[in-house]
Amino acid sequence: MPYDMSLRPAATAAAPGTAAPVPAIRCEALSKRYGKPDRPPAVDALSFTLPRGATWGLLGGNGAGKTTTIGMLLGLLVPTSGRVACLGHDMARDRFRALARMNFSSPYIALPHRLSVRENLRVYAHLYDVPRAERRIAELAAQLQLEDLLDRPAGELSAGQKTRVALAKALVNRPALLLLDEPTASLDPDTGDWVRTWLERYRAESGAAILLASHNMAEVERLCEHVLMLRRGRVVDQGSPAALIERYGRDDLEQVFLDIARGTGAAAEMVPA
């Protein structure tokens, strides 16, 4: 597909001689504890800075704290302590200005299935105050091969088609920061590969930052230049996929993930229990 300047979000880099651009995400000692104070934290003193234009992965087993972290980044959850700022906006005080320039996609949150694809995209174009909404919807439909689906109810689409529609919704406001929760879950390998290729292209052309939570290690290896490994709410290790594979003496990221999750292999000594 031809390169489309409309993918490009608002300016993401500082002009020469000016201060560095604010990062896409800055988390400082972010913690979340549900219920009574004696319960273990779901997220424990998480700190990281996601630069503009980077794609990072958030990895961890079930209950590691990925969903809670994403919830706090999106303002759905109030942290117990710590701070989070997205695109320079403090999410505790100023989250709506950040949310207008962010977006989110998850297979676990649906779009109204009785509405057509076009109606769904119109709703979100209004909510994000997208200028020239119909033109933007047509652009996204062309880019994500949705033209034949625009007037079909979202509930009648296949899993792969729904994923493309969810991506269109997530890109409707040309976000400078995109949070993706398992973007290829339940997709066949061909469709999953199509989505990954599209995300690579989108990132390269738009300069947007992407934070990706996934259980698909091959996907993370391919898309992410940096990975945060979570266990019991803490970052137990981080680095590029290649560096992590080398550090743990393994062949791929999946083996590293298993070592960290089970405390086996090199992780038995390197990762705190």
Partner 1 sequence: MTRSAARRVWGLMYRHLALYRRSWPRLIELMYWPILQMVVWGFVTAYLAGVQNNVASAAAGVLLGGVLLWEVALRSQMGFSISFLEEIWSRNLGHLFVSPIRPHEMVAALMGMSVIRVLIGVVPAMGLAWLLYAFGVWSMGPVVIAFFAALLLMGWAVALGVTSLILRFGAGAETLAWSVLFGITPFAAVFYPVAVLPAWLQPVALSLPAAHVFEGMRAALLEGRIDWGHLAWALALDAAWMAAMSWVFMAQLRAARVKGALLNIGE
> 81: which residues sit within 8 A by CB, 6+ positions away?
29, 30, 31
Binding string to partner 1 for residues 145 to 174, with x set by CB under 8 A, is what?
--------x---------------x-----
Among 74, 141, 230, 245, binds partner 1 (CB under 8 A): 74
Distance, CA of 174 to CA of 6 (rounded, Å): 8
Q: Rule CB under 8 A: say whether 100 interacts with partner 1.
A: yes
Nearer to partner 1, 119 or 193 (CB): 119
Question: 32, 24, 59: which is closest to 253 by C-alpha?
Answer: 59
Distance, CA of 236 to CA of 108 (rounded, Å): 26
Torsion of CA 191, 197, 198, 199, to 10 degrees: 110
Among 1, 19, 20, 129, binds partner 1 (CB under 8 A): 129
Stretch of 57-65, 126-134, 202-210, 228-236 contacting partner 1, by CB under 8 A: 126-134
Q: Rule CB under 8 A: say whether 242 interacts with partner 1.
A: no
SS (H, E, C) 96-140: HHHHCCEEEECCCCCCCCCCEHHHHHHHHHHHCCCCCHHHHHHHH
Nearer to partner 1, 95 or 231 (CB): 95
Distance, CA of 104 to CA of 181 (rounded, Å): 8
> 260: which residues sit within 8 A by CB, 6+ positions away?
229, 231, 236, 237, 248, 267, 271
Q: Rule CB under 8 A: say whether 111 interacts with partner 1.
A: yes
Among 23, 52, 85, 128, binds partner 1 (CB under 8 A): 128
Is residue 237 within 8 Å of residue 244, measured between CB atoms? yes
Stretch of 45-53, 56-64, 116-124, 209-217 contacting partner 1, by CB under 8 A: 116-124
Min CB(11)–partner 1 separation in Å: 19
Q: Rule CB under 8 A: say whether 122 interacts with partner 1.
A: yes
Among 48, 56, 104, 202, binds partner 1 (CB under 8 A): 104
Interaction site with partner 1 (CB under 8 A): 34, 67-68, 71, 74-78, 96-97, 99-100, 102-104, 106, 108-116, 119, 122-129, 153, 169
